[in-house]
Amino acid sequence: MGQGSVALVLLVASAAACASPAASMFAGDVRVALRHVDAGKQLSRPELIRRAAQRSKARAAALSAVRGRGGGGARFSGASEQQQQAPRGTPVRPSGDLEYVVDLAIGTPPQHVSALLDTGSDLIWTQCAPCTSCLAQPDPVFAPAQSASYEPMRCAGPLCADILHHGCLRPDTCTYRYNYGDGTTTMGVYATERFTFTSSSGDMLNVPLGFGCGSMNVGSLNNGSGIVGFGRNPLSLVSQLNIRRFSYCLTPYASGRRSTLLFGSLADGVYGDATGPVQTTPLLQSPQNPTFYYVHLTGLTVGARRLRIPESAFALQPDGSGGVIVDSGTALTLLPGAVLAEVVRAFRVQLRLPFANGSSPDDGVCFMVPEAWRRASSTTSQVPVPRMVFHFQGADLDLPRRNYVLDDHRRSRLCLLLADSGDDGSTIGNLLQQDMRVLYDLQAETLSFAPAQC
């Protein structure tokens, strides 16, 4: 983003400050760095993936709960009876235990905040002082009293009514409660504030946004100070800034390289780092679960054989059950139990390896590697595995080996980075998307992807 674009950004943002935050728009594009929540912890790849798989379990249970409320014969795994009987149309967000952090600043003068990126929820929020109940976080808690631009939103203001649980306990001040499926909850004042994003080029974007200033927060914020929702509902960053395109390129957890997030018009394209062809598939929407980004998955291939899984196994049903979500906040790729069983069967037949005894659920599905491989002195040795292809409407994703297989040399295992979704829905997780440029085009309603060196 050049200096001219930045000047226009600030001019537009200043004009928008007196208007609805939802009407804010900006010119130019923003490129910011993302870091994994476990970056810098000196953990091996198996340890990093094991930790991410544990976080995926809570997210899978919450996704199962929200999809199950539509009915459709969904079965439950980890969802309580109360969750199963919750009224239809009551939103559940996956969890506060997410995977990638974006650094930004809030207020005038700016105060640093580490916010978790979530394509599966909408609210933008951070913990605020004075805090009645606050979670551990890496940054000082945001202090609205020290900001000249902080302003509580009026109850009649835009966005307040878009919060399902909102109220006016204080005179003409919008208060909110926002729940995630893993039990994480934030409560406080919904307000307007200046948000600053620093692009990797050093340019800055400063815009007014509606956000939750949480003074009572419980649950989990994994190495973050808040959450930036990138979902499709009005409260999200995407909706408030009228972002038509956003893109990310996620690096492998143990690579040491920063992932990147781009948003704006992206009119000049995003595929300069692509190492292969760009493929495109339509985005689908569910009126019952409008936050999520759904795609049309038609089938799977393991090795040279397309599996005999009916396309209906991946279909988004009219009542909101089923379907396939693309999600940055879930590590593992989650499949319905019957689909996962068919995939595992195909791998076992082609690998000709026994299942690992006593493997933990956090490992996914694991096989014991041959004695010859166990004796190999090099930890870079790899058992040959069948290729895996995800077939979408109009696009085939032929996966690199490391995106769906974990070589755990220490325990002499080979594990699939797949798990049971707990219902009839599926989730494309971030491990499957690593070293891939992914573009969400909300104007064309498409998802595009290409292999890349992020």
Scored b (16 or more CB within 10 A) or e, 385-410 reads bbebebbbeebebebeeebbbbbbbe
Name the active-site residue from 38, 118, 407, 423. Answer: 118
Four-point Cα dihedral 143, 148, 153, 154, nearest 10: 130
Give residue 412's identity as a one-letter amino acid code.
Answer: S
C-alpha 317/C-alpha 127 separation (Å) is 37
Q: Residue 90 contacts by C-beta under 8 Å, 6 or more apart in sequence?
A: 69, 164
Residue 188, beta-bridge partner list: 176, 214
Residue 335, beta-bridge partner list: 420
Scored b (16 or more CB within 10 A) or e, 59-92 reads bbbbbbbbbbbbebebeeeebeeebeebeeeebb
Exposed, middle or buried by CB within 10 Å (0-12, 13-18, 19+), for 269? exposed
Q: Count Cβ atoms below 10 Å from residue 292 Cβ, excluding itself.
A: 27
- The answer to whether the Cα torsion of 280, 118, 275, 31 is positive or negative is positive
Query: How many alpha carbons fall within 13 Å on the CB side of residue 359?
Result: 20
Cα Rg, the chain, nearest whole Å: 22
327 is catalytic: yes
DSSP β-ladder status, 204-218 and 333-335: unpaired
- The answer to whether the Cα torsion of 21, 22, 23, 28 is positive or negative is positive
What is the number of residues in the chain? Answer: 454
DSSP β-ladder status, 418-420 and 305-306: unpaired
C-alpha 398/C-alpha 282 separation (Å) is 18
Name the active-site residue from 327, 363, 407, 424. Answer: 327
Exposed, middle or buried by CB within 10 Å (0-12, 13-18, 19+), for 416? buried
Which residue do the tokens 């929540």 mark?
37
DSSP β-ladder status, 226-229 and 111-118: parallel
Query: How many alpha carbons fall within 13 Å on the CB side of residue 325?
Result: 35
Q: Count Cβ atoms below 10 Å from residue 105 Cβ, excluding itself.
A: 18
Q: Which residues are catalytic?
A: 118, 327
